[in-house]
Each structure stands twice: as structure tokens, then as C-alpha cells.
Amino acid sequence: MIQTEEPKKPSVREPDPKRFEASKLVLFTDSFMNHFIKVGGIAVVVAVIGIFVFILSQVLPMFQSARVDLESPTGSGAALPEGDYVAIASDEWGERPFALRSDGRLFLSDLTDGGRVIESEVEFLEGDTISTVSAQAGSGVIAVGTQGGKVHLLDYAYKASFSGGKRTVKEEIAKGYTGTFKGPVRTVAFGQSGAARLVAALVEAEGGERLIVNLVERKRSLVGSGNWKETAAIDLSASLRPGVVVDSLHVTDRADSLLVVEVTAGEDGLPQPKVKVVQRLAGTGPKVGEDITVTNLPSAVVPGKGFQRAGQYLLPLTGGDLGLYRVAGLPRSPGYEETNPKLPSIYPWTADVQAQLKSLKYEW
């Protein structure tokens, strides 16, 4: 009898029920990235919305009216002595303002010391009465006209010193110039440029009003800045129109000199900056026959006509440092704020221009 062995059954490995389970690290990483992507997406959306909100906040005020808010008030000082006040001025920090009363007395308020009021020792009226006042912001000058026919220029300035991290502001007020105009001053104005000032006054006189302009200059020396002295007086009464009431005066503070110069043209047809002085009508500028450089002359034009040809031109000039000058702009006025235009004006030295200057009492 033949015996046979039964075939061996292959061994079957029992499946591990945990073989499809993810590790805790994988689960943690997957959960973290899932939440991170959600949060990141929300953050991107919020950031984009924030950008639009910021842009809107910057653009929206452009369509609203301007508003000034007092964030850090300096405080209010003690009450000034009773009276009519005609002018005020202040330092840039607003700590020591002062006021001019109609009787010529000056009172200062020290807002760093509880608003204590101090009377200035400056006296200038000498029993006269103020009739008109003119002041330009930032000029450091107050022009005062009086019933007695005088014009006083009060110069003021502020100086700051620092000690131990604390700022101390001190004012300086002085009488800069006094001129006599022979009649009650109804309106006054002034302009200044460097060491020269023009003082204009509308004066009440017999036969009508008179318009007088004084040129006041100060020459510096080794021992100091010198005093203001009247060097010329011009009667412009002929320029007043009968029946026209003058309410205010405006004096340019740009030009130092009024010159007639010989202008040449370059190959491009534009005026060349180097010119020769032919006549000096006003000011303390260069001498006759002197060659000077007018830096903005190539861009200058004759009003309404441009620049046509070389020849003699009337130029109001300012500057003079290192021999360099500029054609002066026009004074600031309502509706015209550009005192240094891109195309400054020059005037051909014609018979018509000469006649206009003669009517203003210029002689040459």
C-alpha cells in the first residue's frame, strides 16, 4: 500500500487591523495644515478688504470740507487790559503772543507762565494816535500810520533757546523806521527785500489825497547792521484816479533794483542771461556799464507777446549775491499766488514805457 503525504497548507498571516491607521503625527500635521490653510485664506481676504478700507479712508477726505482741530491747546492767558487792539503777532510755537493797542502800548502774554500779561517798554507814538495798521504774516514787521502824519515800522522777532531739554522763547520788538508824510495817514503798506524797504502811505491833504512812497535802506558795517534811513521819496498822487476810492495799498516785496539793460538773443532766439546795465532807475543794484547775469532771463517774456528781439529792456531785479540776479515776480495778491512765475515779465524800453515811468515821477 502506497502512502502519500498530504500537501502542507500555506501559512496564512493574520491581517493587522492597525495597518490602515495613520500615525498621530500624521493626523496632527494634517489637522494643523487644514486649519492653517483656512486661517490663511481668511487672513488674505481680510488683508485685501483692509487695503480697500485704507485707500477709501485716504481718498474720502478729499471730498469733504477742511477742518482744523485743536489737539493740544497751549492755554489762554489772562485778560488783556481794556482797550481797542489793532494788531497781533505770535511766535511759531504760540507761547508768547503780543497785541498792539490803539494808544501804541504793546502787551505780551506769556502762556508758559499761566498767561501772565507783560507790557513792553517799546514806545513810539509820542502822544500821536494810530489811524491805520498793516501787517504781513511772517514779515516780522508791523506798519503803523498815525493821525499826525507819521508811519512807524515796528520790527519784531522771536528767538528760542534750549536748556535741559526745555525751550525758552524770547521776543525782540524795536522801532525800525519813522517817516513823516505831512498829513493824516489813511492807509499804509510796505514791502521789503533784503536791506531795502518801500513804505507807501495814502495821506489826507488839502485838495485831495496824496500817495507817497518812501524808499528806506539800511547799510551794514563792521560794527553792526546799521539804521534804516530814508533815501528816496516818490509822489505817486498823479496815478490816483478821480472819484475812485482807494481802500488798500499793495507794495511788492520782490525787486531790489529797476534797471534798463541791453539784452542779446542766442541762436535759439531766447534772451541770454548775461546783460549790460544801461541805466539804473531805482535801487542799489549794479552800476551803469556793468555786466551782470540774470539767471531766469532766458525764460522771461514780454507780457502777451513773448520775446521777439534783442534790445534794451526794463527789468525789475532781485538778488545780487555773487553777481547773480533774477527777474522779480509779482507780489502775492488774491487770486494770484505765484510770486515766482515760470515766465517772468520784462518790458521793452519804448517811448510808451518811458512815459508811464515819468508819470510815476521816475527820472533818468
Task: Indicate the pairing of strand 291-294 with strand 324-327.
Answer: parallel
The single residue listed with the C-alpha cell 481676504 is 45
pLDDT band at residue 339, thresholds of 50, 70 and 90?
very low
> How many CB atoms are located within 10 Å of the residue 240 CB?
14
Joined grid coordinates for residue 22: 495613520
Residue-averaged pLDDT of the chain? 82
The answer to whether 109 and 115 are in contact (CB under 8 A) is yes
Lowest mean pLDDT, pick from 143-157, 187-201, 299-313, 337-351: 337-351
For residue 296, pLDDT beyond 90: no
* Residues 96-107: b if buried by 16+ CB within 10 A, e if exposed: bbbbbbeebbbb
- Res 338: pLDDT: 47
Helix spans in the chain (H): 24-59, 351-359
- Res 46: pLDDT: 94
Task: Indicate the pairing of strand 150-163 with strand 208-217.
Answer: unpaired
Helix spans in 161-248 (H): none
Lowest mean pLDDT, pick from 59-68, 71-80, 144-153: 71-80
The answer to whether 323 and 290 are in contact (CB under 8 A) is no
- Res 337: pLDDT: 45
129 pairs with which residues across the strands?
Answer: none
Q: Which amino acid is at 249?
A: L
- Calculate mean pLDDT across residues 162-168: 87
The answer to whether the pTM exceeds 0.75 is no
Question: Is the sign of the CA dihedral 286, 289, 291, 294 positive or negative?
Answer: positive
Joined grid coordinates for residue 199: 513804505
Q: Which amino acid is at 339?
A: T
- Res 313: pLDDT: 93
Measured at the CA of 265, the angle between CA 260 and CA 269, to 5 degrees, comes to 135
Q: 285 or 124, which is more confident?
A: 124
Ranked by mean pLDDT, which of 74-83, 102-111, 188-197 comes out on top? 102-111
The single residue listed with the C-alpha cell 504760540 is 94
Residue-wise DSSP of 120-131 = ------TT--EE
The answer to whether 307 and 344 are in contact (CB under 8 A) is no
Per-residue model confidence as pLDDT tens digits over 24-61: 888 888 888 888 999 999 999 999 999 999 999 999 88
pLDDT band at residue 223, thresholds of 50, 70 and 90?
low
For residue 272, pLDDT beyond 70: yes
